[in-house]
Amino acid sequence: MGNEKVKCLIIGSGPAGYTAAIYAGRANISPVLYEGIQPGGQLTTTTDIENFPGYPSGTSGTMMMEDFREQAERFGADIRFGIATATDLSAPPYKITIDGEKTIEAESVIIATGAAAKYLGLPDEDTYAGMGVSACATCDGFFYRKKVVAVVGGGDTACEEAIYLAGLASKVYLIVRKPYLRASKIMQARVHHHENIEILFEHNAIGLFGEHGVEGVHLVKRAGEPDEEKYDLAIDGFFLAIGHKPNSDIFKPYLDTDEVGYIITEPGTPCTKVPGVFAAGDVADSNYRQAITAAASGCMAAIEAERYLSECEYRLKSK
């Protein structure tokens, strides 16, 4: 297949990608957006969203992303299904390979490929997705007020999620594989001293159970040891807090990333070290990972892309 030339290429959908497409479309820079492996992003796996402004009665993640997509198309965004499989950001126009076949030559690029939450790999995690299994306490904790939940993990993120949930739930179990927490000393202290949190050291979750949603977790204590013990624990929600993997691998030869893989941008902006290439949403956000912050960064990326293209056009005309 031949090459196609575009002004602004947006890679990835979700709140960041679609918002970038809305702003880029309104700026008349003819954005082309490839939705990626999960059209709509991680939000489509969330059943109810109640904390996004403009939806006073709440909505589903799928419906919200359909609204975003429709709005982007209204302003002329060309939205396509396809996955970016290779990149060449060495010099403009930047070359992005789609599905291993087609090459897009883009004057500017907005990366909104997101980050995937890490799971334990239990079949039950898929079975109960949206029915008690979550990888975002801030997103879903509200639905577990006065209920019993479990958080899996032993690092800072797990401790932060446990503390957040402890302010809502009646009881939080922190399931830790090792006999100690990996979190910072201050986070360890906060967890140890919180009356609503119980730490289960040397425990592994091996399954979930429940008829219409999560009702409990199958646990094994001190797996493989002579005193190994298996038992069931009644819970209403199961939260994974073992990290995220940014979808940034194909960009790493050209962009700076941190040790986890989050794309590094100039502080307070979506600008990467490559002029005309911008990163928005969870692929560059290891801190908040919220729909509204992703949307905000998508807006910023589109504005920066329009400014960059205008400057390039001005320099060309001035020659």
pTM above 0.85?
A: no
Confidence class for position 51, pLDDT limits 50, 70, 90: confident
**Mean of the pLDDT values across residues 255-265?**
97
pLDDT in tens, 59-83: 988 899 999 999 999 999 999 999 9
CA distance 184 to 177: 17
Structural domains present in the chain: 4-116+244-318 (3.50.50.60), 119-240 (3.50.50.60)
Identify which of 140, 159, 131 has the alpha carbon closest to the alpha carbon of residue 241.
159
What are the b/e assignments for 176-212, b being 16+ CB within 10 Å? bbeeebebeeebbebbeebeebebbebbbbebbebee
Number of helices (H), then strands (E), belonging to the chain: the values are 7, 17
Burial 16-41 (b: 16+ CB within 10 A, else e): bbbbbbbbbbbbebebbbbbbebbbb
Q: What is the mean pLDDT of residues 118-143?
A: 91
pLDDT of residue 2: 64
Q: How confident is the model at residue 48 (pLDDT cuts 50, 70, 90)?
A: confident
Beta-carbon contacts of 163 under 8 Å, excluding residues fewer than 6 positions away, are 187, 190, 191, 194, 197
**What number of other Cβ atoms are within 10 A of residue 216's Cβ?**
18
Residue 117, pLDDT score: 85
* DSSP secondary structure letter of residue 76: T
In this structure, of 221-225, 254-258, 311-315, the range with the lowest mean pLDDT score is: 311-315
Active-site annotation holder among 8, 48, 67, 139:
139
Tokens of 224: 């493989």
Examine the pLDDT at 97 and tell me if it is beyond 60: yes
Which of 8, 124, 136, 236 is labelled catalytic?
136
299 among known catalytic residues? no
Please name which of 281, 239, 267, 205 lies closest in space to residue 41, comparing C-alpha atoms. Answer: 281
pLDDT score at 304: 98
pLDDT of amino acid 292: 94
Q: Name the DSSP letter for residue 147.
A: S
Element (H, E) at 279: strand 277-279
Residue of 8, 124, 140, 285 marked catalytic: 140
Q: What angle do CA 79, 248, 23 make, to 5 degrees?
A: 35
Share of residues in the chain with pLDDT > 70 (%): 98
The Cβ-side half-sphere exposure at 286, using a 13 Å CA radius, reads 16
* Integer Cα distance of 163 and 289 in angstroms: 17
Is 136 marked active-site? yes
Active site residue 232: no
